[in-house]
Amino acid sequence: MIDKIKELIEEAEAFTTQSKEEVEAFRIKYLGSKGLLKAYFAEFKNVANEQKKEFGQTINQLKKTAEDKVNALKEELESKEETKSVYGDLSRPGEPIEIGARHPISIVKNQIIDIFSRIGFNVSEGPEIEDDWHNFTALNLPEYHPARDMQDTFFIQTDPDILLRTHTSSVQVRYMENNKPPIRTISPGRVFRNEAISARSHCFFHQVEGLYIDKDVSFADLKQTLQYFTTEMFGKSKIRLRPSYFPFTEPSAEVDVYWGLETETDYKMTKGTGWLEIMGCGMVDPNVLENCGIDSKTYSGFAFGMGIDRIALLLHQISDIRLLSENDVRFLEQFKSAL
């Protein structure tokens, strides 16, 4: 009988499984209330006295082996389950990774930055919460100047000195205050105006400001730069400058690019004229240079400002400006193939 028990010990030691049910069956077989050990312990009284010691030791050894085995297997299976719940099923094939899309505003902004960086413009930024000086006064728009009404302003609480910038021209001022000419910089950013939200206008949108200050900068340089830009951006080199008014530039102009009238969309986009207005520009007013600590007798320069949203709507045939800020994935996903 002792030999039989020793066999069982070996068997128990060798036992292994991945299934909880089999561990339980093993436990019942050896340690259960009707199990082998119970039977052998009951047998103890019938064992000859001189064998009692060895018999006792052997069944105790079997008991310990079986108990250890059950505990070890349970622990092993439980720890496996834990790993499973943390990592899921590691043998499953991976989920395909969804590729994101750049926002149309970013696409257009990056294109503009790229085009101007090729002719030596760097990128500068300024705060969206501005003070009156940088957004208005330094730009030749003193208090009570009627042109302030052109831009419905959001003021911060009760302090009329602090506002949400209405244009990125404020960055011009900051840049000139902090840098000496020659200056070649473009400043993209978000701007805010207290306007009713509709398909065509929003209370926040995006602009890129351009500024070039050096000795002997002329209007011809401005026109050449704009022509380079429209050619690179739209593939159209025919532009016209219409006289206009901005307090911070003199003379000022509105830039139209000749889009053409080849398709029905061209007709729609240009309202049948073939021309599209894309930005405002001009020679920086000497007052603005002086306000920013630049000697207007030595230096001159040009500036321009354009709306990124407008260009994005045009280029991607988007009919409603609100789509640009609604974050509807079905809309955004369409730009996956763009830059």
Residues making up the annotated binding site are: 250
Q: Minimum distance between the CB of residue 167 and ligand DAH, rounded to whole angstroms?
A: 3
Nearer to ligand DAH, 189 or 282 (CB): 282
Q: Minimum distance between the CB of residue 92 and ligand DAH, rounded to whole angstroms?
A: 54
Nearer to ligand DAH, 181 or 282 (CB): 282
C-alpha–C-alpha distance, residues 285 and 248, integer Å = 5
Written as six digits, the tokens of 68 are: 């250890």
Q: Minimum distance between the CB of residue 175 and ligand DAH, rounded to whole angstroms?
A: 12
Nearer to ligand DAH, 229 or 246 (CB): 246
Q: What residue ranges in 153-307 does DSSP mark as E strands?
A: 155-156, 159-164, 183-192, 204-214, 239-246, 249-258, 275-284, 300-307
Binding residues for Mg(2+): 250
Q: Give the binding site for ligand DAH (CB under 6 A).
A: 167, 169, 209, 246, 249, 280-282, 303-305
Asked if 203 contacts 192 with a C-beta cutoff of 8 angstroms, the reply is: yes
Closest-by-Cβ residue to ligand DAH is 305
Q: Minimum distance between the CB of residue 315 and ligand DAH, rounded to whole angstroms?
A: 19
Q: Minimum distance between the CB of residue 328 and ligand DAH, rounded to whole angstroms?
A: 28
Nearer to ligand DAH, 23 or 303 (CB): 303
Asked if 26 contacts 15 with a C-beta cutoff of 8 angstroms, the reply is: yes
Nearer to ligand DAH, 58 or 166 (CB): 166
Query: What DSSP state is assigned to residue 284?
Result: E
Q: Alpha carbon of 247 to those of 147, 148, 152, 180: distances in Å? A: 7, 9, 16, 23
Beta carbons within 8 Å of 187's beta carbon, 6+ residues apart: 123, 124, 125, 126, 168, 171, 172, 175, 208, 209, 210, 211
C-alpha–C-alpha distance, residues 129 and 134, integer Å = 10
